[in-house]
A and B are shown apart, each in its own frame.
Chain A
Amino acid sequence: MSKQRKAVALISGGLDSMLAAKVIMEQGVHVEGINFFTGFCVEGHTHAIREHNSSKPNRNNALWVAEQLGIKLHIVDVIEEYKKVLINPKHGYGTHMNPCLDCKIFMVNKAKQWIVENGFDFIITGEVIGQRPMSQTKSKMPIVSKQSGADDLLLRPMCAKNLPSTLPEIEGWVDREKLYSITGRSRKPQMEMARNFGIEDYSQPAGGCCFLTDKFYSAKLVDLWKSQGTKDYELDDIMLLKVGRHIRPKPHFKLIIAREEGEGRFLQGYKKEFISLYCSSHPGPLALIDGELSAEDIYFSARVVARYGQGRDEEQVDITVTEKDGSERVIQVKPFTKEEVPNEWHV
């Protein structure tokens, strides 16, 4: 009896990786999923923080996909290791701060380590030639295979027929004839495959699964690095970039102002790390101040925060300032007008 072969599938939560895993499962291979958490994954966070985002199911799509496929999913924390990928990508950034090619190489390399440690035979990804301009082109696919160290243990079932045979195909662990030759950005072939497999519900992330492909998020990251004078970050830094309005009136400090209740609750958790402000005479948002501030800066910030509360048209409102040690004081300020908070301050 032939040995039961085992593959690990990189599961993003999208349709392509779901189909790739399904194709290989259909060939009798034991498949388990792996998902890497870089800190920049869109999955979960935005609807976890924000109250009003009920249009999308409140679920982690990678877990959901694994459950639909009936496979285990291993979620791996790569936050620390990922820093070197983002801070100094060998192949550079994409349109924004997305180091897609380095990221793919990194993840496949991690998957390679994982299969060695766990006695698996090969790696599956949902990559499709031409699907993404930076990392999923025919010329980039061999780079990922080679530089990740996975070499011919990396199988892309969705476009395998357009690529050289890999070890699982050569050894007959999978039948190359039952693999696919999808190319390009059209989603029609994948949707047809989904229909054929009886898969009716799947996630279709419009902007990819990573905050680094987002123009506004990338701008905040660049601003963070510029203000620090160094390209580095901690997890809390990059989490806070996902939350609230970021307003930098002066180079040495920035305000993070909650846009709604869920964000306000999230920012509450950082009151020991940052000076915080809220309007105590009228309903208004919580704000954190990131930076070293003079008394004048705090007064200035209070006027900005007052602008975003319901007392914005009053002559004077009360702003409670809470220090990191929890001590509070109340100051009276005149809210800035809309014109006094110029667009250039918005990061």
Chain B
Amino acid sequence: MQVLKETLNARRLLCPLPVIRTQDKVKQLQPGDLLEVICTDPGVMHDIPAWCRINGHTVLETSSGNHEYIITIRVGE
């Protein structure tokens, strides 16, 4: 099965809006798909991984630089 990799631009949004946008985007994806979320609110480094943990998704990678925070998620079952 082909794995989709999508990108979500959540720049300028403050938590919990990046989490809400991530949640809404994940609903459109299939288990195993990848989602890269790009944010400017540093709070996402806590909130998106927490949201993933409680909802059964996996954070594959986080990175930051130039006041941007990028989180890559694998969608769970």
Contact = CB atoms under 8 A, between A and B. Distances in A.
Interface of A: 35, 37, 41, 43-45, 47-49, 58-60, 62-64, 66-67, 70-77, 239, 265, 269
A73 B47 CA distance: 12
Contacts of B41: 44, 48
Contacts of A72: 54-55
B5 interface: no
Given A37-B16, A63-B19, A47 B53 contact: no
B42 A58 contact: yes
A75 B16 contact: yes
Shortest 10 CB-CB distances between A and B: which pairs?
A44-B15, A48-B43, A63-B50, A48-B41, A60-B47, A269-B12, A59-B46, A48-B14, A77-B20, A66-B54
B43 A60 contact: yes
Interface string B14-43: 111101100100000000000000001111
Given A60-B19, A239-B14, A67 B50 contact: yes
Given A59-B50, A67-B54, A75 B19 contact: yes
A62 B20 CA distance: 13
- Give the one of B12, B15, B40 with max A CB within 10 A: B15
Contact of A47 (B43, B54, B55): B43
B73 to A, nearest CB: 15
Interface residues of B, number: 20
Interface string B41-70: 111001100110111000000000001000
Contact of B23 (A41, A75, A239): A75
A249 B47 CA distance: 39
Contacts of A62: 16
B1 to A, nearest CB: 25
Contacts of B40: 269
A37 B20 contact: yes
A49 B54 CA distance: 25
A60 B50 contact: yes
Contact of B17 (A37, A63, A66): A37
A66 B50 CA distance: 9
A64 B50 contact: yes
Contacts of A37: 16-17, 20
Given A59-B50, A76-B20, A265-B67, 5 more contacts: A44-B43, A48-B14, A48-B42, A59-B43, A67-B50
Nearest to A44: B15
A73 B51 contact: yes
A64 B19 CA distance: 13
A44 B46 CA distance: 10
